[in-house]
């Protein structure tokens, strides 16, 4: 069995909710680049996830679903702190 790529329009995915297996909160889609979908979660301490496009399971017009658990997603996470003021 081969994985068929999920087809979606990148502009439709921007600013949409990102979820993983078990309804894991992966933030909001911020950017689409050739290899990754970048999501962001948090306000003061920001977690950015650089999730490979191959992990997209489906897109239902409101949410991009990834076939990854929250624990697995942490391997794709980078932290950044927003400056106050």
pLDDT for 84 beyond 70: no
Q: Is residue 1 part of a domain?
A: no
Nearest alpha-carbon partner for 29 in 21, 20, 41, 38? 38
Q: Is residue 66 part of a domain?
A: yes
Q: Is residue 5 part of a domain?
A: no
Domain holding 71, by residue range, is 10-81
Residue 1: band (very low, low, confident or very high) from pLDDT cuts 50, 70, 90: very low
Indicate which CATH number applies to the domain containing 35. Answer: 2.30.30.240
Q: How many domains does the chain have?
A: 1
Q: Is residue 47 part of a domain?
A: yes
Q: Is residue 63 part of a domain?
A: yes
Q: Is residue 4 part of a domain?
A: no
- State pLDDT tens for residues 21-79: 999 999 999 999 999 999 999 988 899 999 999 999 999 989 999 999 999 999 999 87
Cβ proximity of 60 and 84 under 8 Å: no
Cβ proximity of 29 and 39 under 8 Å: yes
The full length of the chain comes to 85
Residue 5: band (very low, low, confident or very high) from pLDDT cuts 50, 70, 90: low
CA 30 vs CA 1, 41, 46, 47: distances in Å: 32, 10, 12, 12
Q: Is residue 2 part of a domain?
A: no
At residue 48, the pLDDT reads: 95
């Amino acid at each position: 069995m081969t994985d068929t790529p999920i087809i979606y329009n990148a502009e439709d995915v921007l600013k949409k909710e990102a979820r993983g297996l078990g309804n894991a909160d992966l933030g909001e889609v911020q950017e689409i680049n050739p290899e990754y979908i970048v999501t962001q979660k948090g306000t003061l301490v920001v977690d950015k996830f650089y999730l490979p496009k191959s992990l997209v399971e489906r897109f239902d017009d409101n949410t991009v679903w990834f076939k990854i658990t929250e624990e697995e997603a942490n391997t794709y996470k980078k932290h950044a702190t927003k400056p106050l003021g």
